[in-house]
Amino acid sequence: TNADTRANAFVILEGERGKTQKMWLNKNLSNPVSFLAGQEDDFQITTDFNLGDLMFLTVGHDNSGRSPEWFVDHIKITETVSQRVWYFPIGQWLARAKCTKRVPPSAGVPVRYAIKVFTANEKDASTTSKVRASILGSEGESPRWELAISSEHEIPFQRGECDTFHVISAKDLGDLQSVTLNIDGAGQYKEFTVQKIIVHNAVTKERWVFGPRERFSRSHAFHRISTDRVEYSVSVLPAEGGWSVTSAPSLLRITLTGQDGEIRNSRFGKVDEERGIGGGRNRFVYLFSSNKGDLGDLKTVRLIYKQQGNSSFAFDISRIVVTNMSSHARWIFPARSILNKEKTEIALTPDAATSYRTILETHASQDAGCDHAAFIRLTGRHGVTSEIPLIHAQRIFERKSVVSTDFIAPLLLGDVSVVRIGHDNSGTTPGWMLENVRVVEVLSEDSWQFKVQAFLEYPFTYTDVVPLKPVRQVYYVAVSTGNAEGAGTQCPVTVELYGGGVSSGPLLLVPENPDAKFELVSGTTERFPVVSTVKIPEIEYIIVRRGAREDSRNVVEGKQGWLLERVVIQEQIGNRSWTFLANQWIKEPALHRTLTPVNATAGSGMCKLVITVKTADSRGASNDRPVHVELFSEQGMSSGLMQLEPPRNSATKDGPPKITQRGQTDVFQVSSVQDVWPPIKAVLTLDTGKKADWQFDWMAVSLPKEEREKRLKAARRKARRAKKQAKRNFRQQQSKDETDSEDSDPELEGIDENAEKMDRLGAAEEAVEILFNGEGQWLNNKAPSLSIERADPLPCRIQLQVFTGQEFGAGTDSNIFCTLQGTAMTCEEFKLSKSSTHSDKFERGNMDLFDVIFPQSLGQLKNITLRSDGAGLASSWLVHKTNALDCLQGIEYMADFEQADLKKGQLECTKPFKRVSDVKADKDPSDSQQARGPRKFKVKVTTGNEKGGGSDGKVFLTLISDKGEQSGEYQLKQSLNNKTKFQRTNTDEFHVPSHGQQALNMKGKLSKISVRYDSLMAKWMLERVVIEEEEIVRVPISLPKRSTTEGSSNDTNAATSAESGPAESASNIQAVTHGVTDSDLEEAEVFTDKDGLKYKLVNRINKSVFIHKGWLNRKQRIAEIDLWDGQLHDYKIIVKTGNVKKAGTDGNIRIQVVGKNKLMSGVQKLQDSLEKNRDLFERDQVDSFNFVSNHDLKELDHIILYHDGTGGALNKVEWFVESVTVVDIVRDRKYNFPASHWMGNCICDHG
């Protein structure tokens, strides 16, 4: 089971004070690739406010990527300030259908359990169904956990194997009583035979065994059994040279003697199919049980060999390793003995000490080596060593060096879990950059790899590291079978990968669907996932093997076997791909082929592509299965298999967008593929399975704009170099006596013409879009692949944009027909039937997009004719303009219809085309800036983070400009981003004016707004209002080329932007470009005015911020808020409580300061006294507070105090305030406001 996911993940936190929006987990702090199986990933997220105690967590993904299914074990959240921790146990798959999970936190500290499931070693004992487990203990019952990720095996629950699963319980279940397994009955093997189950508590180190052996099909409860039965594993390792055997040993008895008893087995040698677990030429391994319980510490092991028959046998033993499978204790018995006819029995004693070898790899960077005394400390399952000095001959750890040292440990540690490596800070260069450490147990040959990558320098002279997890590298293998009779096969096929001196071993090709039968059909491409446990840096060659079983259908004209066309291997992570061409029959006696790659895409020859796919507009043409594309160049090079999927950041709240739907045109950006431009052939492959039916219309392949311009420049440079070289060669052929004349030479002119022709051809080639026309062919389970050759001449695709006018009644219900006239030919009239942008086309103010395919190029477009048939109720149509993009030549045209009205009596109109670049050059861009027309704003309203701050009342907004003009009052009705508007801490977005509201023609810049709150019962905390407006600005990029004479400054001052002063200095230009990104400037067109000044027109977002931080209620319904100047002004507030009986209060006090310039600060709560007073506003007490205003109030006029009417636990509500002093820290002024006033639930205004 693959728990990885390539989807975008998110979390939603719900606390006692509110709920966050979706927070995407994008920036991984611990790993380069997120959400791999068995991996823990760390992310840092930030909330807009303090959530308090977390109540729920929602985790999910957007269903994007190749394999979005995701198994989440648990989530741990730590608050960085208070270091408070919440644990959320998940233990569930997040699939396509159910991609979110909402869980509460665990009540206490979770407990991790390790569940070991032993599958019986008998026929049909394994299962392919999903297995879930629950545990019943004395303290309660756990939820059902899905046992999906095995620590030992890629595919769990196989015959004779033990699989370990780590699960997390919300609490300690106490003394365990039973374990219940449930299987869903899916897959080929629907029953399951379990030998036993062992559960470990990782906290208390307790262990329980459950049994007995049982075969079941749905559910079964395994109860705790006696732990007297203990299993031992005995490994007999040979000396160098191995065994000398003519036939396997007949009888070999083993006797284990411990301090608490003795056991023996009956037979050893040939692996016992009932109880043995493995064997081979390097060692014999046997597993047998003790019914007498644990033998304790082993004292001796005795081997007795009895020869049978005439077999010649020599048994040269190096050592014997015995492991207690329950306690994981291990004993090593050195032997160096030979069993043969003369010597048939040996008795061995264990070695108390154990030899270890460490291999230290120093980093290759400068000053990485050192000359200090290093040490190591090992922590294993059965103990910890002391700090052991690492002594070697050189005594210096040079950079890039690999040093091996041996040492003796006083005990056998078992599996090494932690290594401490460090030094004593001696020597001249004590710093040490250590790369890797490898620890080898010499006798058992077990090894552990540790990745350090740390610089050990005083005071951090040591580091603790844990071993690396086993490598798991996933590849996708696409196998193409030749299109010949009998070319397919049903025989098993394996692929073995070689590179960097290592091999992956044979990898069996198994279909992704476990119920599907393996078969390679002629003329198709099948895709298989394979997993390599060896990391291969670069694939150098592969070996493809076919099984020996033949199919009678494969015997055709003496060509029996399998016709392999090619193999494409692609990484799951990294997107590297390798293509191997074969075109060979694989048949007996040679059932394997060694293939080398024709394109190793490891960083060279890569390119980006834009692929546009159109699905046919007919019933049932939609498709829900993945689609793959492979492109080929004229040289036969392959791009590799590319899966068409939407961008990872294109998901919406309704999930990822659907592709290849009926009549839909999808655009895909593909990066890091082999450069096959221009492609001559395309192969489309549809993943087989349910609902695998897709009607394909056409596919267009092009280069991105930046890639196309880069190649165009390179082609022109190449043409210029060729031109210069041709001229140079021509002059060298002239006679030495002849002199170069200025008159043109006919031959030289011919060279110039050829170079210019090469320049034009290079430019045309880079601007071409290659179109592959599928003509409505179907792809399904019977025919999942489609191969399309590039047509000659090249087809042409025209993207036609039709703009309908903005006036009332401009739309139409009539059928619209179009005719395009070009320099090469005029097309036949065609109907504009299916718009890619709107289901109801040609409506008021809409832009409709149509893709039109022509068998060949029309040349440069000259005219366009639109005709209406006058049908329908609303037959008249007001056309604004049309744009046409010739995708073959990369040229954009525009035709201005000048609000032509197609109605009865005049149903046809013809207009000439102009290139868009020419139209932009003729325009005076400043005109659009001066006459901007109706204005549109986006308003963002933020509700404050105060208790009861939200509201469901009506809110109205009035805009006021710096020229004194005032807009009408607009109601903020429908929030664009929240279902319920004006909720606590939420930011709601609105369009002003919205649909149906009066247009806004106000002039000038915003300087003030008026917010009116209409509600009789409720109140509302308004935090701030942000208003955004998009406008066109003119950005100068150079000054006019004029001589420096008197009056030149006036000429320079004339070259200014539409809204800025003279563009003479970099500071002025920077002011104009405020709010404009570099990408906007790069993509914008360059213009030149009559004075020679070059400039660009770009769109800029102007933001106006209005900060209030105050309440609106039925007493104060209107708030006039000035534009925030972007500065904060500091004040100090000194509050004196009166010296009368019960003058103090425990209520919440807020203050607002008003200046004589009519500017008002926000309403701020008085808390965090500068005197560090524990209780605020007590009798005869002075409290000081820092106060920040959003405006420079200058001369203060009066203050407003607010009391919320609360009194705390002692009900101290009323408050007698004697005076308030406000200190302007910047101007060093004091303003005293005497009060001598009682306050309860009221507002107090003091001048």
Contact 422, 374 (CB under 8 A): yes
Cα 226 to Cα 213: distance, rounded to the nearest angstrom: 14
Cα 609 to Cα 703: distance, rounded to the nearest angstrom: 5
SS3 878: strand
pLDDT confidence band for 1058 (50 / 70 / 90)? very low
Q: Residue 231 has what pLDDT?
A: 73
Asked if the model's pLDDT at residue 1059 lies above 70, the reply is no
- Mean of pLDDT values over 916-945: 63
Token code pair at residue 18:
């509110």
- Mean of pLDDT values over 502-517: 77
Rg (Cα) of the chain, in Å, rounded?
Answer: 40
- Tell me the CA end-to-end span of the chain in Å, nearest whole number: 74
Among 22, 277, 7, 10, smallest CA distance to 152 is for: 277
Q: Residue 135 has what pLDDT?
A: 92
More confident site: 1041 or 334: 334
The model's pLDDT over 285-304, given as tens digits with 9 standing for 90+, comes to: 666 666 556 677 788 888 87
Q: Residue 395 has what pLDDT?
A: 59
Say how many CA atoms lie within 13 Å of 783 toward its Cβ.
Answer: 10
The model's pLDDT over 391-446, given as tens digits with 9 standing for 90+, comes to: 765 556 788 788 888 887 777 777 788 888 888 877 776 678 888 888 888 766 67
Q: Residue 1138 has what pLDDT?
A: 92
More confident site: 609 or 766: 609
How far are the Cα atoms of 59, 866, 1030 from residue 765, in angstroms, in the given order?
49, 32, 38
More confident site: 169 or 1197: 1197
Cα 1183 to Cα 1136: distance, rounded to the nearest angstrom: 7
SS3 218: coil
Contact 952, 1004 (CB under 8 A): no
Burial of 119: CB neighbours in 10 Å, binned 0-12, 13-18, 19+: buried
Cα 941 to Cα 990: distance, rounded to the nearest angstrom: 8
Asked if the model's pLDDT at residue 34 lies above 90, the reply is no
Q: Which residues pair with 454 in a beta bridge?
A: 434
Q: Residue 310 has what pLDDT?
A: 55
More confident site: 1223 or 238: 1223
**Residue 497 carries which side chain, given as an amino acid letter?**
L
More confident site: 1001 or 648: 1001
Say how many CA atoms lie within 13 Å of 283 toward its Cβ.
Answer: 18
**Residue 370 carries which side chain, given as an amino acid letter?**
C
Q: Residue 1223 has what pLDDT?
A: 92
**pTM of the complete model:** 0.35
- Mean of pLDDT values over 1187-1204: 84
In 10 A of CB 105, how many CB atoms? 20
Cα 24 to Cα 604: distance, rounded to the nearest angstrom: 33
pLDDT confidence band for 735 (50 / 70 / 90)? low
Asked if the model's pLDDT at residue 1046 lies above 60, the reply is no
**Residue 338 carries which side chain, given as an amino acid letter?**
I
Q: 207-211 and 214-216 as β-strands: parallel, antiparallel, unpaired?
A: unpaired
Q: Residue 473 has what pLDDT?
A: 78
Cα 950 to Cα 1023: distance, rounded to the nearest angstrom: 11
Cα 121 to Cα 234: distance, rounded to the nearest angstrom: 18
Q: Residue 1217 has what pLDDT?
A: 92
Contact 1041, 1025 (CB under 8 A): no
- Mean of pLDDT values over 149-161: 83
Asked if the model's pLDDT at residue 1136 lies above 90, the reply is yes
pLDDT confidence band for 179 (50 / 70 / 90)? very high
Cα 57 to Cα 106: distance, rounded to the nearest angstrom: 11
Contact 120, 193 (CB under 8 A): yes
pLDDT confidence band for 968 (50 / 70 / 90)? confident
Residue 902, Ramachandran bin (φ over 0: left; ψ between -120 and 50: alpha; else beta): beta
- Mean of pLDDT values over 488-499: 87
More confident site: 1068 or 129: 129
Angle between helices 705-732 and 746-767 (to 10 degrees): 170
Residue 603 CB contacts under 8 Å (≥ 6 apart), including other chains: none
Note the Cα 963 to chain centre separation in Å.
Answer: 49
Contact 1033, 1072 (CB under 8 A): yes
- Mean of pLDDT values over 233-250: 57
How far are the Cα atoms of 367, 830, 888, 893, 1156 from residue 821, in angstroms, in the given order?
72, 12, 16, 12, 71
Q: Residue 556 has what pLDDT?
A: 36
DSSP calls for 184-201 = ---SS---EEEEEEEEEE
SS3 1053: helix
SS3 69: coil
Note the Cα 284 to chain centre separation in Å.
Answer: 47
Asked if the model's pLDDT at residue 1105 lies above 60, the reply is yes
- Mean of pLDDT values over 700-711: 79
Token code pair at residue 438:
């490898």
Q: Residue 939 has what pLDDT?
A: 92
Long-range contacts of 382-386 (CB under 8 A, 24+ apart): 382/328, 382/329, 382/330, 382/411, 382/412, 382/413, 382/414, 383/411, 383/413, 384/413, 385/409, 385/410, 385/411, 385/413
